[in-house]
Amino acid sequence: MDRGTKPMIDVSLIGLFVGGRGTRMGGAAKGLLRAPEDDRTLVARLVDESRGLAREVLLVGTHEAYEALGLRAIADAQTGAGPLAGLVSLLREARGGRVIALACDLPFIDRAFLERLACSAPEARILAPRREHGWEPLAARYRSEDVLAIAQSRLVRGALSLQSLLDEVGTTELVVEARERDVLDDWDTPEDMARPRPRR
């Protein structure tokens, strides 16, 4: 699929989650770190890789460090409630459409993976990869009409685990192919940043 080609299913929004405090990174805005072997920031790289796959790419979470990027940002539905609160805001913004949620600290995620995430299993309520530690909820696609009410209810109850949300809703697995084994690695600590870029 070319970058300008419309995916087989309609994705309303791609939300880049930038609301984390980055405490293990010394408080750095992780999305503004430089991508490996690249002059772009992680967020700029994600925007470029996502181009044409949704009607809009926006930021989920408000942080003054990102204002210069010129991307629309939406606030979490509730402060101090972690990524579930951001997901609720993104699902509300979609008004019944599909959304893709992406963490801002994914330095190796590529166009081919994002195309599969956008286009595979159109019937799925949630489509997400699963690795040894569980689901990858911030590299996943959600159908808001199926997920929003459940996510809002969990937010009100303080049941904030995204893993449990994906289990409750019923998630279709997007199988991670052999060539993609490192594509979902993220940067949580300076040690993560020091790892060499995967070679395929």
Question: pTM here?
Answer: 0.88
Domains of the chain: 11-194 (3.90.550.10)
- Give the Cα separation of 184 and 162 in Å (integer): 17
What is the per-residue pLDDT across 63-85, written as a single tens digit (0 to 9) for each? 888 988 899 999 999 999 999 99
Return the pLDDT at 23.
45
Q: Do the Cβ atoms of 81 and 155 come closer than 8 Å?
A: yes
pLDDT digits (tens, 9 = 90+) for 79-138: 999 999 999 999 999 998 999 999 999 999 999 999 999 999 999 999 999 998 899 999
How far apart are alpha carbons 134 and 170 in whole angstroms?
14
Diameter over CA atoms, the chain? 44
pLDDT digits (tens, 9 = 90+) for 182-198: 899 886 655 555 565 55
- Say how far apart CA 50 and CA 66 lie, in whole Å: 18
Residues of the chain with pLDDT > 70, as a percent, come to 84
